[in-house]
A and B are shown apart, each in its own frame.
Chain A
């Protein structure tokens, strides 16, 4: 059973294509992220895609010029095919944290997962809250610094600093892969919250 899982956040067509600026930032990361995920799959790491589904009745869901992206019937809700493989699992969520009122925790526990690697967009929202939630639920948390995305680099840096201070290890992707291979990923992570 996989001991490690990767959780991708919000890498969906509707969300990525919000603006040219955002699309450029995302696609500057996606090829390397896809390669990273392929490597981890080959190491028996479970890949879980956290897919934001906006509810029309949710007044707080972000609308783009009045249009609500990533609804249940929007084709653009799909996760980028660049990072998806048949063996992956997709979990729908409606809020920032991938654990909030979803089956994610049960899926991870059923799979025997103890260590989670959190990637995706935005570093300071969904990545940060999912990392915190995972930490509170007793998982070891790791965030590869090149695998997270914000439109503003300062937002990513601030969030990575926060994660590193409170709840997870922030490492280069190459270190993450090496440690997964060695079985030493948990050694660099802070102890899970009791």
Chain B
């Protein structure tokens, strides 16, 4: 490979592009990459229904304590497929790279893509690379599009399926991804105590669905906007009320500290490896047992209940008082100055 930085010519479609794709991208991805370098990928599917999702990733910083943008880009799309009940199979990988980006960093990111894809059991079937002038992007942006298949008998999971009496389950510590990245960005001192929770959770979802079947009504991954946003979307879509117990929410002590310092509410902070699962009463204990059996979801807790209502979300504190959990409009900015 010529040079140690990405140049505009690496995205021009000529010899350097070919060198980058074959010598760096395909080589680093290894067996995870099954593309044929054609204009489109042709892939087999085994069932009559597929799930498709796409997401773009702008992660700052690109590298963090226990991951990087490559891990987030694969895990995020895999989880989006998994929570619909689909089995993730194929991903595309598109990269927008700023001129001057170190090729060694690109290799590091691609290595994360490979390792995370391998852990999730998905293949990279197609890709694209664009290089933009210095200053027109901040290092590197990724986009992944994912395809998953629905196996026969997969329950129909969606936001409109919540029923009064259902229980709300959260599978991990809230807000860790946000706190880790914010701490790295601003040097807040929490970055070694609170790591990102980023992880592909498709195997976890598959096991829960296998154990509980139609007893699971909905699964959502808790990402931007946090649990507060997910709960509001679910309550609104199903026209039910949700009430969560503040004391039951799994939150690390350090994350609570950081949120208070920043003047933000943990319930709106992002994760990249936490699910919100809604299951009927009869399935809750099985679902919790299965979830706690996976290391990524070992801190699973039952946090709330669904009741008849008009789409409202409330939080009950330790004294039994309830207050509304409103939908967050816009970003919840940290108060730093």
Asked if B13 CB lies within 8 Å of chain A CBs, one says: no
Q: How far is it, in angstroms, between the C-alpha of A124 and the C-alpha of B193 when the chains are bound?
A: 20
CB 8 Å contact bits of A60-86 with B (1 = contact, 0 = none): 101000000000000000000000000
Most buried by B among A62, A96, A130: A96
Q: How far is it, in angstroms, between the C-alpha of A162 and the C-alpha of B260 when the chains are bound?
A: 8
Asked if B188 CB lies within 8 Å of chain A CBs, one says: yes
Q: Is B189 a contact of A133 with CB atoms below 8 Å?
A: yes
On A, residues with C-beta under 8 Å from B are 60, 62, 93-97, 99-101, 122, 124-125, 128-130, 132-134, 136, 159, 162, 166-167, 193
Q: Is A95 a contact of B337 with CB atoms below 8 Å?
A: no
Q: Is A100 a contact of B187 with CB atoms below 8 Å?
A: yes
Interface residues on B, range: 10 to 19
Asked if B186 CB lies within 8 Å of chain A CBs, one says: yes
* A-B contacts besides A95-B187, A136-B190, 20 pairs, CB < 8 Å: A60-B185, A60-B186, A62-B337, A94-B187, A95-B186, A96-B186, A96-B187, A97-B187, A100-B191, A101-B187, A129-B187, A129-B261, A130-B189, A132-B257, A133-B188, A134-B189, A159-B261, A166-B257, A166-B260, A167-B257
Q: How far is it, in angstroms, between the C-alpha of A133 and the C-alpha of B191 when the chains are bound?
A: 9
Asked if B321 CB lies within 8 Å of chain A CBs, one says: no
Residue of A with least CB distance to B138? A59
Q: How far is it, in angstroms, between the C-alpha of A193 and the C-alpha of B189 when the chains are bound?
A: 13
Of A100, A125, A134, A166, the contact of B336 (CB 8 Å cutoff)? A125
> Can you spell out 30 A-B residue pairs with CB atoms less than 8 angstroms apart?
A60-B185, A62-B337, A93-B187, A95-B186, A95-B188, A96-B189, A96-B336, A97-B187, A97-B188, A97-B189, A100-B188, A100-B191, A101-B187, A122-B337, A125-B336, A125-B337, A128-B261, A129-B188, A129-B261, A132-B190, A132-B261, A133-B188, A133-B189, A134-B189, A136-B190, A136-B192, A159-B261, A162-B257, A166-B257, A166-B260
Residue of B with least CB distance to A131? B189
Judged by DSSP, the binding face of B is loop
Q: How far is it, in angstroms, between the C-alpha of A193 and the C-alpha of B192 when the chains are bound?
A: 12
Q: Is A132 a contact of B188 with CB atoms below 8 Å?
A: yes
On B, residues with C-beta under 8 Å from A are 185-193, 254, 257, 260-261, 336-337
Q: How far is it, in angstroms, between the C-alpha of A46 and the C-alpha of B32 when the chains are bound?
A: 55
Q: How far is it, in angstroms, between the C-alpha of A151 and the C-alpha of B257 when the chains are bound?
A: 23
CB-CB nearest 5 A-B residue pairs: A95-B187, A133-B189, A100-B187, A97-B189, A132-B189
Q: Is B260 a contact of A99 with CB atoms below 8 Å?
A: no
Task: Point out the residues of chain B lying under 8 angstroms from A124, CB to CB.
Answer: 261
Q: Is B189 a contact of A129 with CB atoms below 8 Å?
A: yes
CB distance from A83 to the nearest CB of B (A): 22
